[in-house]
Amino acid sequence: MRSIRDLFKKLPSDGDLRHKLRNFNMLPSRSKKAASVRDLALSVGLDVRKVPLPRGMAGRLVQDPFSESGFGIEVNESHDVRSMRFTVLHEMGHYLLHMDRRDPLADPMHLNRSDEEFYFDLKAEREANDFADVLLFGDGSLQAAFSLYNGRLPDIAHYFGVTEKMVEVAMKKFRVK
């Protein structure tokens, strides 16, 4: 996936969902503050909670009978907020791309960044990362921020609310120079 259009091909044709995702992509920063990934998650029925998770686990998609969708996202409370933002989008990608959302008893998924456990499905992990990358940086958003901030990584990272390392990876992926 390299664009919002590619992403939409993998999602149900829900105009309201597409509108929310497109707006998030087009307005990554509001009032000098990065757009809220929690608000985006809530708008699609996913509650987000900071919880203690095992070392190396950034987050997971879990059953949540109290959320609108029947699912929630847990993020590791010990991680940096900028990393949590990407994790929320990654887990939202799992929810929208991989879960049978009609089954609140489906197996949960998680993003694990350690070598101690294996990923459930490497293809699904890549797709969830692509989902997060496209929402944050796709359709020219990263190129525009790069131009706006004259390539200064700290400013670009602040604009998107992510780490400089995430911006560096995205610059390679989206071929921004």
pLDDT at 118: 40
pLDDT at residue 70, as a whole number: 87
Question: Pairing mode, if any, of strands 71-76 and 109-112?
Answer: unpaired
pLDDT at 115: 45
Q: Cα angle vertex 46, ends 165, 173, to 5°?
A: 25
pLDDT of residue 171: 96
Stretch 7-11: mean pLDDT, rounded? 93
Report the pLDDT value the prediction gives residue 31, as an integer from 0 to 100.
74
Q: What is the pLDDT of residue 103?
A: 59
Q: Which residue has the tokens 């990654």?
A: 90
Record the tokens describing residue 17, joined without a space: 């969902």
Residue 113 has pLDDT above 70, yes or no: no
The tens digit of pLDDT for each residue in 17-59 reads: 999 999 999 887 777 789 999 999 999 999 999 999 988 889 9
Task: Specify the 3-state DSSP secondary structure of 35.
Answer: coil
pTM: 0.89
The answer to whether the CB of 93 falls within 8 A of the CB of 132 is yes
**DSSP letter string, 76-137:** ETTS-HHHHHHHHHHHHHHHHHHS-TT-TTSPPEEEE-SSSS--S-HHHHHHHHHHHHHHHH
Q: What is the pLDDT of residues 53-106, one digit of tens each?
A: 988 889 999 888 888 888 899 999 999 999 999 999 999 999 999 876 555 555
pLDDT 10s digits, 119-170: 457 888 899 999 999 999 999 999 999 999 999 999 999 999 999 999 999 9
Contact status, residue 21 vs residue 135, Cβ threshold 8 Å = yes
For CA atoms 130, 133, 136, 138, the dihedral sign is negative
